């Protein structure tokens, strides 16, 4: 199926807006999440609705534009909203896309509160983003981000914070890269919303557990 002009414009916007980000949150991440989200959408039976697929694709492509971790100025928070308006997106569709983007973050779900605006489209986009945060790609992204922020790789004396509020989660200055696995990444498998997402998360989660086991063995000089 040929891409619409809006999708092509969204891809160009992603490339421009995410160009300065490190490789953990660059345009390639957005494109992987888009491909994953569309694949999950087909598995979940959304492919019969072109409107649903467009909502999924645009939300997945645009979900990290305006991410608080990379904001260079406050105006960037409005970029997606302004883009959809410029593209002539109708209010209902635009609202659904923005609701997905605003509600899909891990920090919004730390206390196990289900998202009030949950829809099948929300589920596949959020699951796709979370799948890209775990497994082999997730491991690579985690260490890329930690290195970019000059974070300590591992310190056995710094314990992971297992019961976090939203504000605490956003304050990572004293944490190590490896602790992020325990504070977030290992929790994502059980937070998947769709059956397709749950299936794929099992393999990626197991790969992370095996990686961490080997990491700790090597760190302690046992392997």
Instruction: Output the pLDDT for position 173.
Output: 64
Instruction: Output the pLDDT for position 114.
Output: 52
Instruction: Output the pLDDT for position 68.
Output: 81
Instruction: Output the pLDDT for position 23.
Output: 97
Instruction: Output the pLDDT for position 70.
Output: 83
Provide the number of structural domains found in the chain: 1
Residue count of the chain? 223
Q: What is the CATH number of the domain that holds 135?
A: 1.10.3210.50
| CB 154 within 8 Å of CB 177 | yes
Instruction: Output the pLDDT for position 212.
Output: 98
Which residue, 86, 26, 23, 31, is CA-closest to 58? 31
Instruction: Output the pLDDT for position 75.
Output: 73
Instruction: Output the pLDDT for position 3.
Output: 80
| CB 212 within 8 Å of CB 175 | no
The domain containing residue 199 runs over which residues?
5-219
Instruction: Output the pLDDT for position 170.
Output: 61
pTM for this prediction: 0.92
Provide block-wise average pLDDT over 10 residues at a time, the chain (223 residues).
87 96 97 98 96 97 90 81 96 95 81 63 97 98 96 94 68 82 95 97 98 98 91
Instruction: Output the pLDDT for position 8.
Output: 97
- Give Cβ neighbours of residue 188 (< 8 Å, ≥ 6 apart): 106, 130, 133, 134, 201, 205
Instruction: Output the pLDDT for position 109.
Output: 72
**How far apart, in Å, are the Cα atoms of 194 and each of 39, 70, 122, 186?**
12, 29, 10, 17
Instruction: Output the pLDDT for position 1.
Output: 54
Instruction: Output the pLDDT for position 209.
Output: 98
Instruction: Output the pLDDT for position 140.
Output: 98
């Amino acid at each position: 199926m040929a891409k619409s002009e809006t999708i092509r414009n969204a891809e160009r916007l992603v490339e421009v807006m995410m160009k300065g980000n490190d490789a953990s949150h660059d345009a390639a991440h957005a494109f992987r999440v888009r491909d994953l989200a569309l694949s999950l959408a087909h598995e979940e039976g959304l492919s019969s609705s072109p409107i649903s697929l467009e909502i999924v694709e645009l939300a997945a492509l645009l979900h990290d534009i305006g991410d608080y971790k990379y904001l260079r100025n406050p105006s960037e928070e409005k970029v997606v909203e302004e883009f959809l308006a410029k593209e002539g997106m109708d209010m209902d569709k635009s609202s659904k896309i923005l609701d997905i983007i605003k509600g899909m973050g891990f920090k919004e779900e730390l206390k196990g509160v289900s998202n009030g605006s949950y829809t099948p489209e929300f589920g596949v986009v959020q699951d796709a983003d979370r799948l890209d945060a775990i497994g082999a790609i997730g491991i690579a992204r985690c260490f890329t981000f930690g290195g970019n922020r000059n974070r300590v790789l591992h310190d056995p004396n710094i314990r992971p914070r297992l019961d976090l509020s939203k504000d605490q989660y956003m304050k990572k200055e004293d944490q190590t890269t490896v602790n992020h696995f325990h504070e977030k990444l290992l929790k994502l498998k059980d937070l998947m919303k769709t059956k397709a997402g749950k299936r794929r998360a099992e393999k990626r989660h197991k790969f992370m557990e095996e990686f961490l086991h080997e990491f700790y063995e090597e760190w302690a000089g046992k392997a």
